Amino acid sequence: MDLIFVTHTHLDHILNLRLFPETEVCDSSYIYRGEEVIPYEKFVPGTNVEVLPTPGHTPDHASLLVQADGEIWLVAGDLFWWGEGAVHGADRESLLALEDEYAFDTEALRRSRMTALERADVVIPGHGKILRPHGRHPPGIR
């Protein structure tokens, strides 16, 4: 099954959806299949990929938790992001303190980040390099 997951609807995350007109699109609560809107809860239907609500950057922001190689990988969208060339720490405190000038709700964002960091071994941000908030590098990634 081909499916596009949208973490949130900022233009830089949805602009190219039109390049895949026949592909189903999924957000934190619904699958969009043509004109049909199908509600779902907790897991992307037909998978073991968990949808984790992570509001703060936007009210409806969501991330994905994927188990791979005995670890939990977080596809984080803009839960964590930084500008090109920005230097930041990958430790928990640095990630919790990371500024988000576009945040809709900074307190909700901090709570979402705390929950995500409690669950994830590896973080794949929407902008920036893959990181390990707990220190170890994933295989093949430095």
Cα distances (angstroms) measured from residue 35 to each of 8, 25, 38, 74: 20, 11, 10, 30
| Domains recognised in the chain with CATH numbers | 3-125 (3.60.15.10)
> Mean of the per-residue pLDDT values for the chain?
89
Task: Give residue 83's pLDDT.
Answer: 76
Residue 95 phi/psi, 5-degree rounding, is -70, -35
pLDDT digits (tens, 9 = 90+) for 35-90: 999 999 999 988 999 999 999 999 999 999 999 999 999 999 999 988 777 777 88
| In the predicted structure, residue 25 carries a pLDDT above the cut 80 | yes
Task: Give residue 72's pLDDT.
Answer: 97
Rounded CA gap, 132 and 49, in Å? 19
Task: Give residue 85's pLDDT.
Answer: 75
What is the three-class DSSP state of 57?
coil
| In the predicted structure, residue 129 carries a pLDDT above the cut 50 | yes
pLDDT (average), residues 93-100: 91
Rounded CA gap, 140 and 59, in Å? 34
Radius of gyration (Cα) for the chain, nearest Å?
A: 15
Q: Which tops the pLDDT comparison, 108 or 91?
A: 108
